[in-house]
A and B are shown apart, each in its own frame.
Chain A
């Protein structure tokens, strides 16, 4: 495969097609519109199916139906759209149905704006789901990494029988980068679905007995048992899915913690700080749930301050403080509403935070 220059959203759509997606259901919302646009022609050409849903509520419901009956399903939306999908995501998790959801997030709250944002951190890691539900969340920082994650996350969703969310801020969706796309896997034919998904509702001719995908358990003991089963899988996911990258932690005075676009700005800010004689390191969480607490154990003895750097009012800050466990002062460098700081702004504010931490 050769590297080609692609717009993020189109690369994400193509990566999903190559992962063997059977169905995509979309509803227009900026800044992810290139995904339904691409899917509307490219997915049927690859043997799959596209519906432009009447709402995000319908899109997530269509996704549930297609996935419960055994299809690989991909959907995408942006922040307010994800809020509408949350009823469905919690329900799908309780029904133990796999699904991959891409959130190309924008500034909020409410309708907010259409410039990049990371203020969906709590929405995706804590969710608005009723009941005891966890959803693995991955936050790529490049178009290549996002495409790779989309391709891989179908296997993760199917292994854990749970929805998986990929959080890509609007910057990743709208920019162009060279990307090398993975090999096409092909769509599982209907008659093979129950070989890989014995639980799928395909019609009883295809499998032994009768399959029912359900959430309702009126017996509280049965419901508690079910939640405990889900949490046994979440405990395994917590060990297996935790991912991050780090750099320069051994001798860093400042440790940035940043995901997505912001992590790239922090890497640049570290170079600017190095020119000023200040050593800065970076922890870049790739999995937001499970959060990479273990990364913080690698921070070296020179650290004076840990800085959560975010395009929100400090939503990851909770997880950073939890991982820091009082070992270092924690500061926040942030912009919100679609404003993105420059690497110089981050460097200046980090230098100030370092001075304040030293007081």
Chain B
């Protein structure tokens, strides 16, 4: 019989530790499928963050290391200096990247580091149980903003693609959304493009995924998807911000 589908060898065949409806599994899979399709599983080094996806190294079938909170881009810069020829990436959540790790991500972009950062924005701290993140939307209820985030108390959410695309040596910046199969396919094409641009060593490459966290949002998975589509995509426009010529 003809095989029409098989799981990617980029994912270790175990159950993930993620909640039902969480976007991490989808993001993991499309990144690993891209690496497998381009024959890169054997020459890739990944860095996982602090947060739910610290567990990614139990699922992603490549050499990986853990990081201290927010420091993944500095760690990847160190890896890149020892391994000029490998594929290098960081995988980071919004507490990790947009709060404690702002200096490291800004300066990785500033130096035009030749690695790719995959940024999972689910507008909340997941692993610690649903606290407000810099990306939490106005009005969104979290365990540290129980009446909803206000501008007066916490300012307006940070838009990382918009910030990073201002930095000249960040050459590819795009925001994608994980809400339906068509957009997941589009996200995969964006991941592939980011890795191709990394291969060309043109500068820093960054992909942000708008992603659901049903557990900490207190929403059923379907309603969480609607929140991503309506509320998140409204504040965080899904689009390409920057692509180098020829891509």
A interface residues, Cβ below 8 angstroms from B: 22-23, 25, 49, 51, 53-55, 57-59, 61-71, 73, 87-88, 91, 95, 190, 193, 201-205, 210-216
Contacts and interface: CB of A to CB of B under 8 A. Distances in A.
Contacts of A216: 54, 66
Interface stretch (B78-86, B161-169, B211-219): B78-86
Interface string B88-118: 0000000000000001101100110000000
B82 A88 contact: no
B44 interface: yes
A212 B104 contact: no
A213 B65 contact: yes
Given A202-B63, A210-B63, A54 B78 contact: no
A107 to B, nearest CB: 27
B11 to A, nearest CB: 12
A216 B55 CA distance: 9
A190 B71 contact: no
Contact of B68 (A88, A205, A211, A212): A88
Given A214-B57, A216-B66, A58 B82 contact: no
A63 B78 CA distance: 6
Interface in B134-154: none
A108 B71 CA distance: 27
A49 B83 CA distance: 11
A201 B79 contact: yes
B74 interface: yes
B77 interface: yes
B121 interface: no
Given A51-B78, A58-B77, A204-B41, 20 more contacts: A23-B81, A25-B78, A51-B81, A54-B74, A57-B104, A58-B107, A61-B68, A61-B71, A62-B74, A65-B79, A69-B78, A88-B68, A95-B65, A201-B63, A203-B43, A203-B44, A203-B86, A212-B65, A212-B66, A213-B66
Most A CB within 10 A of own CB, among B57, B81, B104: B81
A71 B75 CA distance: 13
A67 B47 CA distance: 13
29 contacts: A23-B81, A51-B77, A53-B74, A54-B74, A54-B104, A55-B103, A57-B104, A58-B71, A61-B104, A62-B75, A64-B68, A64-B75, A65-B75, A66-B81, A68-B79, A95-B65, A190-B82, A190-B83, A202-B86, A203-B42, A203-B43, A203-B62, A204-B62, A210-B61, A212-B57, A212-B63, A212-B64, A214-B57, A216-B54
Contact of B103 (A58, A63, A66, A203): A58
Given A204-B42, A216-B54, A69 B79 contact: yes
B8 interface: no
Nearest to A68: B65
Contacts of B43: 203, 205
Contact of B63 (A64, A66, A211): A211
A65 B45 CA distance: 10
Given A58-B71, A91-B68, A65 B78 contact: yes
A54 B111 CA distance: 10
Contacts of B75: 61-62, 64-65, 68
Contacts of A213: 64-66
B82 A69 contact: yes
A55 B70 CA distance: 13
B94 to A, nearest CB: 19
A54 B246 CA distance: 32
Contacts of A67: 78
Contacts of B81: 22-23, 49, 51, 62, 66, 71
Nearest to A187: B82
A57 B64 contact: no
B198 to A, nearest CB: 14
Given A54-B107, A203-B42, A210 B62 contact: yes
Contact of A62 (B65, B77, B85): B77
A88 to B, nearest CB: 6
A201 B54 contact: no
B179 interface: no
B66 A65 contact: no
Contacts of B104: 54, 57-58, 61
B45 A201 contact: yes
B65 A23 contact: no
Contacts of B82: 22-23, 49, 66, 69-71, 190, 193
A201 B79 CA distance: 9
B67 interface: yes
Contacts of A212: 57, 63-66
Contacts of A88: 68, 71
Most B CB within 10 A of own CB, among A23, A193, A203: A203
A143 to B, nearest CB: 28
B210 interface: no
B76 interface: yes
Contact of B66 (A95, A190, A193, A202): A95
Contacts of B62: 203-204, 210
Contacts of B44: 203
Given A57-B103, A69-B45, A190-B83, A215 B78 contact: no
